[in-house]
Amino acid sequence: MLEIDGKDGGGQLLRTALALSLCTGEAFRMEHIRAKRQRPGLMRQHLTAVQAACDVGNATVLGAEPGSLTLEFTPGTVRGGDYHWPIGTAGSTTLVLQAVLPALWMAGVDAKLRLEGGTHNPLAPSADFLADSFLPLMRRMGLQAEIRLERHGFYPAGGGAIAMDIATSKAPMALHLSERGDPIGMSVTALMSSVPGRVGERELDAVGRRLPIAAEHRHIRQAIGSPGPGNALMVRVEGSEVTELFTAFGERGVTAERVGELVSSEARAYLVSGSAVGPYLADQLLLPLALAGSGSFTTQAPTAHARSNAALIEKFLPVQIDFEERGDDLWSVTVST
């Protein structure tokens, strides 16, 4: 049983450990889970990820309780089928998905997943990010999967729902992304739920003053069936090799202009860097490339989050993940055996 110290990471370390445990059959014990967070230990969202991993992997678990700082997880055989996981809060559905998608892919099984909770959360990949940025790259690596956004869910009300259909897929193949490819275009969308339309217009204007996005590529989209108010501002940068999506969230006390400024700054930093993928997509690519045993990409300066995730992956798999600085805010990341 692998011993893992979770004090220097958040829920991502737990989700990565769950996914790799299911993929490798290696049991683990994680201590000091989220110990440095304001509310340490397991929360509802993390417990749903543990439950999902148990269901998919016929696993046994000790310590799966609210606030627990220690978890022991022993995987069984991964199986396909129909699964439904309601988080019961605004916790991110996409983060729960991270714990089980790699295992279902590696096992080569069919599965239908439905998750209820948040679909557009701060500090988590949104459902739009998965559909536009992440899944297209996974399909190039061999994954056959489709995602559907059935209902939007924002913090704090939650109540959103996503569904994913996974078909029998080949084992992950290597992926190399040194460049984002020929520029295709940029667009910006203000996603609104029970928020005055003028807020979205101000957000779009703020982005338009900072990024070269033509008026016809600025959109306001009404959320589907969201039980609570919410607002997400998304800048889409499409290249022939990679599509990136940057998101900022409206919240009480933050002006529409400030939201536009935040998302524009992220998109501009990405464009100036010349990298193939941004920092959030870089985090998402590490695990599938490690399962493929080979791959590389260029990105912006790696976060501490990415480095701790890479170190954990190396505990489970016989791979080496190297970060090499190549220029001002430009790094190459290489996965090799």
Q: In the chain, at which residue ranges do the beta strands (DSSP E only) sit?
A: 2-5, 28-31, 60-62, 71-74, 81-86, 111-117, 144-151, 160-167, 175-177, 183-193, 218-222, 230-239, 243-249, 295-299, 320-327, 330-336
CA-based angle 332:289:326, to the nearest 5?
0
Tell me the C-alpha distance between 82 and 112, whole Å.
5
Q: DSSP state, 264? A: H
Q: Outline where DSSP puts E strands in 97-178.
A: 111-117, 144-151, 160-167, 175-177
Which residues on neighbouring strands pair with residue 117, listed in sequence order?
160
Question: Is 152 an annotated catalytic residue?
Answer: no
Which of 32, 217, 219, 305 is an active site residue? 305
Strands 71-74 and 60-62, bridge-based pairing? antiparallel
- DSSP string computed for 186-251: EEEEEEEESS-HHHHHHHHHHHHTTS---GGGEEEEEPSS-SS-EEEEEEEEEESS-EEEEEEE--
Active site residues: 305
